[in-house]
């Protein structure tokens, strides 16, 4: 009885496991996966981030019983950092996604098939902010992984957008929990519960 209810009203971890499994199935090239990534001083948390071929893919999950009111602010924060952005949700929330930006993709978790369906593919996000990228990386990491060993937050103009983006991807990837090599067997939602810790980019 309990499992039936979970299937009919999937929680975040069920959808998250389905997303990871789907991503592993459709991608043959190396990628890394990060769960519960804190990205800003306001402690906004991205449910899932995939990094592949120097690009980032952020997924905000809205499960069956989730409140949608915070979604606009969440997407606004993600638009400053990630190359591609998706909202993954269930059928009961689809009508509420009509007003999100058209470059944000929409992914449906089917309670009938237990599979992921891409209702709308994300387009490349052109709103990424160089300053926000650098602010999301620890000062110590920037000093150790760039030509600027004495970097401070007032030195952001030293970096091109390309340099800042590369540093962001590299640092985010270092915080990720799984690689595609870890996903040889099907991931279950219990694995997500056991392995998820809140991971902060530590912007200080």
Chain-centre distance of CA 146, in angstroms? 25
The HSE-up count of residue 131 (CA atoms within 13 Å, CB side) is 4
Pairing between strand 45-52 and 32-38?
Answer: antiparallel
Helix (H) or strand (E) holding 56: strand 55-62
| pLDDT at residue 31, as a whole number | 83
Give me the architecture of the 2-128+178-194 domain, per CATH: 3-Layer(aba) Sandwich (3.40)
Q: What is the mean pLDDT of each run of 10 residues along the chain (204 residues)?
A: 54 90 78 84 83 95 92 95 97 92 96 91 98 94 96 96 97 75 51 45 35
| pLDDT at residue 71, as a whole number | 95
Q: Are 71 and 87 in contact (CB under 8 A)?
A: yes
């Amino acid at each position: 009885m309990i499992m039936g209810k979970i299937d009919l009203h999937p929680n975040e971890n069920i959808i998250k496991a389905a997303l990871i499994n789907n991503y592993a199935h459709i991608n043959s090239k190396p990628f890394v996966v990060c769960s519960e990534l804190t990205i800003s001083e306001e402690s906004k948390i991205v449910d899932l981030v995939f990094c592949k071929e120097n690009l980032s893919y952020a997924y905000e999950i809205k499960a069956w019983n989730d409140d949608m009111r915070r979604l606009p602010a969440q997407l606004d924060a993600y638009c400053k950092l990630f190359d591609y952005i998706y909202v993954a949700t269930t059928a009961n929330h689809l009508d509420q996604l009509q007003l999100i930006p058209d470059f944000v993709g929409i992914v449906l978790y089917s309670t009938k098939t237990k599979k992921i369906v891409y209702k709308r593919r994300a387009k490349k996000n052109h709103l990424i902010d160089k300053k926000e990228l650098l602010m999301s990386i620890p000062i110590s990491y920037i000093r150790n992984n760039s030509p600027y060993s004495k970097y401070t937050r007032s030195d952001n103009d030293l970096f091109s957008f390309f340099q800042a983006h590369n540093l962001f991807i590299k640092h985010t990837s270092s915080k990720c929990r799984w690689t595609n090599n870890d996903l040889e067997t099907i991931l279950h939602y219990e694995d997500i519960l056991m392995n998820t810790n809140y991971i902060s980019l530590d912007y200080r």
